[in-house]
Amino acid sequence: MDLNYTEAEIAFRDEVRAFIKAKLPDHLVDQSKLGTSLTKADYEEWHAILNAQGWLAPNWPKEFGGAAWNAVERHIFEDEMTKANAPRVVPFGLSMLGPVLQAFGSKEQQDYYLPRILNGDDWWCQGYSEPGAGSDLASVRTSAVRDGDHYIVNGQKTWTTLGQYANKIFCLVRTSKEGKPQQGISFLLIDMDTPGIEVRPIVLIDGTPEVNEVFFDNVKVPVENLVGEENKGWTYAKYLLTHERTNIAGVGFANAGLQNLKRIARLEQSGGRPLIENPHFAARIARVEMDLMAMSTTNLRVVSQAAAGQAPGAESSMLKIKGTIIRQEINALTRNAVGPYAMPFASEALDEGSNEEPVGPDYAAPATAQYLNNRKLSIFGGSNEIQRGIITKAILEL
Ligand SMILES: Cc1cc2nc3c(=O)[nH]c(=O)nc-3n(C[C@H](O)[C@H](O)[C@H](O)COP(=O)(O)OP(=O)(O)OC[C@H]3O[C@@H](n4cnc5c(N)ncnc54)[C@H](O)[C@@H]3O)c2cc1C
């Protein structure tokens, strides 16, 4: 297996670099570097720039307006974007719903929704999890009962990321209680403006309302908003999750975090010398860097297998666990590096335009909030315990 880039891949990488240099706005880079939260307008600005270039949907086929890149091109793009501190692309419409509609949606749904995802007309959120249905997703209870040409939806979703910005939600709903729980689930597209929907913020440990609870009280949804067939939603839901877990290792994010950590460790002092020269601290950075290099190689191996037509299997569970541990360790080391300046918990430091003067250097202000926020990495997208269960069964065959 050759892990080096081909000439064509190097040319592609240079094209991506040139685009970033010309088009990535400085203010978005500054926000990423300082770790401030992006607003809806920031995300929309970046999406529009990528869309104008035809690069907003790297994984979509050309017929739907995507870039149709292979796995290696997507990897290069992701890598360059995170190294340049570009904002992430919000995944719900682009990486999750888009592929489901392309595979299972009706022609009308594809024609209507896919261009709206690219143009930024719709902001989608994901209504999978419920209280009592997280890891055990098949036990969703939110019901959709057919009434003429509508479904009447009742129930509750939870942990809905950025649902406060969304005008649409894709939901798993229970349309039958017969048979196995997986057999009575349908996949429904719901307009967030429909009467009977209430969104309540959940404030996370870092002080941000990044996730929400969404309540449905006799919400009328037209039957044409059903994706595919009634009671077949589990198949579509699982298909979506394979897309949700792409690039789950977060190699690019870890690289960017490591560079930031090293920058801080050069600026901070320990015993009159730069912290990065402290043997104990340098050893901890070296360990996380070695782990990251090993994971990047595994990631490239998986990417190169995918480029050769093989689907990543349980390796993505390995990457999820290791990637999470590495990013959380980088967050911990960053807190260590800023020392006492990590003590004041300045959650407002994450807000763009915050006029609170940081007590220490500006790079120290978000360190604790980021450390706390990234506790989520080992939970969402399938918790690390669940991933370990998958490895036990699929790789170790225990
Ligand atoms: C910040 C954040 C954002 C999220 N965003 C979204 C979103 O936008 N949309 C959405 O639908 N969902 C979202 N989620 C939900 C996420 O997918 C679930 O939190 C996750 O699947 C775990 O489910 P749970 O929280 O119900 O925990 P539970 O399933 O109740 O698990 C609790 C603990 O028990 C462990 N556990 C459970 N079952 C097993 C088992 N069989 N073996 C070993 N250990 C087990 C878990 O690993 C965990 O540690 C988000 C979650 C977070 C934290």
Would you please indicate which residues are annotated as catalytic (active-site) residues? 244
The rounded distance, in Å, linking the Cα atoms of 236 and 136 is: 16
Query: Of the candidates 395, 389, 378, which has an alpha carbon nearest to the alpha carbon of residue 313?
Result: 395
| Pocket, ligand 1, Cβ cutoff 6 A | 126-129, 134-135, 159-161, 211, 376, 379-380, 382-383, 385-386, 389
Tens digits of residue pLDDT in 105-150:
999 999 999 999 999 999 999 999 999 999 999 999 999 999 999 9
The beta strand positions in the chain, using DSSP E, are 124-127, 143-147, 150-157, 168-174, 185-191, 197-202, 211-222, 226-227, 269-270, 273-274
Q: Ligand 1: distance of its center to the CA of 48 in Å?
A: 32
- Ligand 1 atom 27, closest CA: 134
Residue 135 CA, closest ligand 1 atom number: 29
Q: Could you report the per-residue pLDDT of 256-267, keeping only the tens digit for each?
A: 899 999 999 999
Closest residue by CA, ligand 1 atom 41: 386
Ligand 1 atom with minimal separation from the 129 CA? 11
What pLDDT was estimated at residue 93? 97
Cα separation, 200 vs 131, whole angstroms: 14
Residues of the chain with pLDDT under 70: 1-3, 243-247, 306-312, 345-356
